[in-house]
């Protein structure tokens, strides 16, 4: 299994090597400077004085990464989040520099027997301490920026992985879905919406992926079944509508009129969703006006009467006739001549009425 760059960056040993390398580069830079002077470069003293600061940065890196994960700099809170981050940066820079100085003095106390008085040293060299704290401040900012980049990369990778997984599920469900008239038009439009939302609105993309995943799971669970209960069919339609609400927001309303006593009646698998989808393909997607959709199910004698209506339809649309013809052919396979299907379209409303034998699901 391949190890990603982000996994490597989370490796404590690798992070330590990275920070020590930066420390050694800083020390080597000083060594090069000393080549043009008459002074002798003391490697031992420079290692003792400089490396503790970078080792402490290694210790603090997980803390900075944690801060980046908790403060997301969202658009509606960027001002307050920036204030919190600046406060954290100042607090970190002073703390980091104090601990670095204390560690260096403690090492000199152990090696050379020098006094261990970090507070006194700071008070006597305030501006040197503040100057070094500014270095710590920018180290914090740089590490924070890298942490945000890693987190963003992980988020995008996760979303892309979820889309890939969804495409795989779609491929597995495609044959059965097409057979049941689960419209590819809707599936591919939804995937396009998800692809766009991954970068502009990740929470909505997450929700849309979850809803579409539920639809596909339900499709796979019911694959091979010619009939399902009315309750299951309505559940599938509701999942479909949840996704359309994310896509079209306030551009349509939906009303369901039915009786719970009808929930256990048998209906052809995925017979309602293509009809409701017509309301979007030839209504919501074709007009700027708000579309009102009604799904009404009632028992009339020995028949289940299913009515689907939508306002502001697109008239003279051949695609709609082809969809309804496909539905009619499916119904004929199940019921022969015992079903009735009628449609009526006016300037203001499209009405679909289906009557099928009322039989309880066995």
At residue 5, the pLDDT reads 55
At residue 122, the pLDDT reads 78
pLDDT of 19 higher than 60: yes
Query: Worst-scoring range by mean pLDDT, 72-81, 197-206, 237-246?
Result: 72-81
Tell me the per-residue pLDDT of 177-187, one tens digit each, with 9 for 90 and over. Answer: 444 444 566 77
Average pLDDT over the chain, rounded to an integer? 83
Other beta carbons within 10 angstroms of residue 119's beta carbon come to 10
At residue 1, the pLDDT reads 46
pLDDT of 340 higher than 60: yes
203: confidence class by pLDDT, cuts 50, 70, 90? confident
**Cα angle for residues 179, 208, 194 (degrees, 5° grid):** 90
Read off the pLDDT of each residue in 207-222 and give the average, rounded to a whole number: 84
By three-state DSSP, how is residue 266 classified? strand
Tell me the per-residue pLDDT of 348-358, one tens digit each, with 9 for 90 and over. Answer: 899 999 999 99
Please state which of the four CATH numbers 3.30.565.10, 3.40.50.360, 3.20.20.70, 2.40.110.10 is assigned to the domain occupying 180-357.
3.30.565.10
**Cα angle for residues 127, 133, 135 (degrees, 5° grid):** 115
Read off the pLDDT of each residue in 226-248 and give the average, rounded to a whole number: 91
Domain with CATH 3.30.565.10 in the chain: 180-357
Other beta carbons within 10 angstroms of residue 358's beta carbon come to 17
Tell me the per-residue pLDDT of 161-175, one tens digit each, with 9 for 90 and over. Answer: 888 887 766 655 543
Alpha carbon distance 353, 343 (integer Å): 6
Which residue in this structure is represented by tokens 């892309």?
160
By three-state DSSP, how is residue 221 classified? helix
At residue 295, the pLDDT reads 96
254: nearest Cα among 273, 228, 227, 230? 273
At residue 170, the pLDDT reads 63
pLDDT of 240 higher than 70: yes
Read off the pLDDT of each residue in 193-203 and give the average, rounded to a whole number: 80
At residue 4, the pLDDT reads 56
Tell me the per-residue pLDDT of 254-278, one tens digit each, with 9 for 90 and over. Answer: 999 999 999 999 999 888 988 998 8
By three-state DSSP, how is residue 103 classified? helix
Residue count of the chain: 362
At residue 315, the pLDDT reads 62
Q: String of b and e for 36-65 (b: at least 16 CB within 10 Å)?
A: eeeeeeeeeebebbbbbbbebbbebbeebb
At residue 322, the pLDDT reads 58
Higher pLDDT, 322 or 136: 136
Tell me the per-residue pLDDT of 31-89, one tens digit each, with 9 for 90 and over. Answer: 888 887 878 888 887 888 888 888 899 999 999 889 888 887 776 777 888 888 899 98
342: nearest Cα among 315, 306, 296? 306
pLDDT of 95 higher than 60: yes
pLDDT of 132 higher than 80: yes
> For the chain, what percent of residues have pLDDT higher than 90?
22
At residue 38, the pLDDT reads 78
Contacts 24+ apart (CB under 8 A), 352-355: 352/275, 352/278, 352/307, 352/308, 352/309, 352/324, 353/305, 353/306, 353/307, 354/271, 354/275, 354/305, 354/306, 354/307, 355/300, 355/303, 355/304, 355/305, 355/306
CA distance to 112, 148, 254, 271, per residue, from 142 (Å) = 35, 10, 50, 57
359: confidence class by pLDDT, cuts 50, 70, 90? very high
């Amino acid at each position: 299994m391949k190890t990603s760059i982000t996994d490597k960056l989370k490796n404590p040993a690798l992070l330590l090597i990275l920070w020590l390398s930066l420390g050694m580069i800083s020390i080597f830079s000083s060594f090069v400077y000393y080549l043009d002077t008459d002074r002798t470069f003391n490697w031992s003293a420079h290692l003792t004085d400089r490396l503790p600061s970078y080792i402490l940065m290694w210790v603090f890196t997980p803390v900075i990464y944690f801060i980046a994960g908790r403060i997301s700099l969202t658009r509606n809170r960027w001002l307050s989040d920036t204030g919190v981050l600046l406060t954290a940066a100042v607090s970190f820079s002073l703390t980091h520099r104090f601990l670095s100085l204390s560690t260096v003095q403690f090492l000199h106390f152990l090696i050379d027997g020098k006094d261990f008085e970090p507070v006194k040293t700071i008070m006597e060299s305030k501006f040197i301490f503040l100057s070094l704290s500014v270095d710590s401040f920018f180290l914090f900012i740089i590490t924070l920026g890298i942490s945000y980049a890693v987190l963003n990369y992980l988020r995008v990778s996760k979303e892309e992985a979820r889309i890939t997984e969804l495409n795989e599920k779609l491929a597995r469900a495609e044959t059965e879905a097409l057979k049941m008239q689960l419209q590819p038009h809707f599936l591919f439009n939804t995937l396009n919406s998800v692809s766009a939302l991954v970068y502009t609105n990740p929470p909505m993309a997450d929700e849309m992926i979850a809803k579409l995943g539920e639809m596909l799971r339900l499709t796979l669970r019911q694959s091979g079944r010619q009939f399902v209960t009315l309750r299951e069919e309505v559940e599938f339609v509701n999942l479909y509508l949840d996704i359309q609400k994310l896509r079209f927001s306030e551009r349509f309303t939906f009303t369901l009129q039915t009786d719970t006593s009808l929930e256990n009646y048998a209906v052809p698998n995925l017979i309602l969703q293509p009809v409701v989808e017509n309301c979007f393909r030839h209504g919501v997607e074709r007009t700027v006006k708000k579309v009102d959709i009604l799904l009404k199910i009632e028992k009339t004698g020995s028949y289940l009467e299913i009515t689907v209506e939508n306002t502001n339809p697109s008239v003279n649309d051949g695609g709609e006739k082809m969809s309804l013809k496909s539905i009619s052919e499916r119904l004929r396979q199940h019921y022969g001549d015992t079903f009735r299907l009628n449609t009526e379209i006016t300037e203001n409303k499209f009405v679909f009425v289906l009557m099928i034998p009322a039989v309880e699901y066995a």
